[in-house]
Amino acid sequence: MILSIIIPVYNEEKTIEKIIDLVLKTKLPNSFEREIIIIDDASSDQTKKLILKKIQKIQQKNQIFLITKPENEGKGSAILIGLKKSKGDIIIIQDADLEYLPKYYSSLLTPIIDNKSSVVYGTRIRTMKFKLFGENRTPLILHYLMNRFLSLFTNLLYGSNITDMETCFKVFTRKVYNQIEPLNSKGFEIEPEITSKILRKKINIYEVDIKTIPRGYNQGKKIKWYDAIFAICTLIKNKII
């Protein structure tokens, strides 16, 4: 079995080397090989140079590919290119910052290997406590509340029961990918587009708990408040069309 790991990246010079190392080293369940596809979206910092340097040092060159885009278009555009290039039996999307760690791959793949589901999402929400004040207060509280709202809105529209629609950790089989094609979103609306197309096909989304290390805007976070509006519009559009 081949696992295709799709990494969209834009200006992540601080984290790209580390995430590639983690993706390469992470143990996969027996019988799995990995195919890593990195899509650099016209980064203007050192990201591309660092990826090329890293690839040069890797022994198994056929394990990792870099696609460079001529102009920046957004996370979705990079994911679409990665999906088209991928050949794996199972596909996972991996952000290039260090919020989502590859150590969860095994637990994310298990429900698919056990034939419990053909789609698995890693959910941040169930393990994250909502706390407004104090030392252990929830980081990026508005972001957290918006993610909860977007998941609730998804459930209301599609009759689903998911807790983290916006998670980057979306894992699905090639068969599911073929069913949800074509995907069109260029930006962060790729998350609701993938989700709504899966739910419209009545495919069950199995959730696995994950813990992320949230980063702030001063650390390079790119998603903006208005992406929530695009997400709502995408969810509605895919419901009615």
Residues 129 to 148: which contact ligand GTP by CB under 6 A? 143
73 binds Mg ion (CB under 5 A): no
Site string for ligand GTP, 27-66 (x = CB under 6 A): ------------x-x-------------------------
Work out what residue 174 binds among Mg ion, ligand GTP, none; the CB cut-off runs from 5 to 8 Å by kind: none
The two tokens of residue 26 are: 């992470």
Nearer to ligand GTP, 1 or 42 (CB): 42
Helix (H, G, I), strand (E, B) or coil at 44: coil
Of the ranges 53-61, 91-99, 106-114, 142-150, which one interacts with Mg ion (CB under 5 A)? 91-99
Radius of gyration of the chain (CA): 17
- Sign of the torsion formed by the C-alpha atoms of 97, 102, 104 and 109: positive
CB of 124 to ligand GTP, least distance (A): 8
Nearest CA among 206, 207, 199 for reference residue 127: 207
Work out what residue 227 binds among Mg ion, ligand GTP, none; the CB cut-off runs from 5 to 8 Å by kind: none
Q: Which residues pair with 92 in a beta bridge?
A: 5, 171
192 binds ligand GTP (CB under 6 A): no
45 binds Mg ion (CB under 5 A): no
User: Is the peptide bond between 192 and the residue preceding it cis, with omega within 30 degrees of 0?
Assistant: no
Q: Which residues pair with 5 in a beta bridge?
A: 36, 92
Residues 88 to 107: which contact ligand GTP by CB under 6 A? 95-97, 99
d(CA 77, CA 184): 8
Nearest CA among 98, 45, 101, 40 for reference residue 69: 40
Helix (H, G, I), strand (E, B) or coil at 158: helix
Of the ranges 8-16, 52-60, 107-115, 151-159, which one interacts with ligand GTP (CB under 6 A)? 8-16
12 binds ligand GTP (CB under 6 A): yes
* Cβ atoms 111, 24 nearer than 8 A: no
97 binds Mg ion (CB under 5 A): yes
Interaction site with ligand GTP (CB under 6 A): 8-10, 12, 39, 41, 72, 74-75, 78, 95-97, 99, 143, 166, 168, 221-223
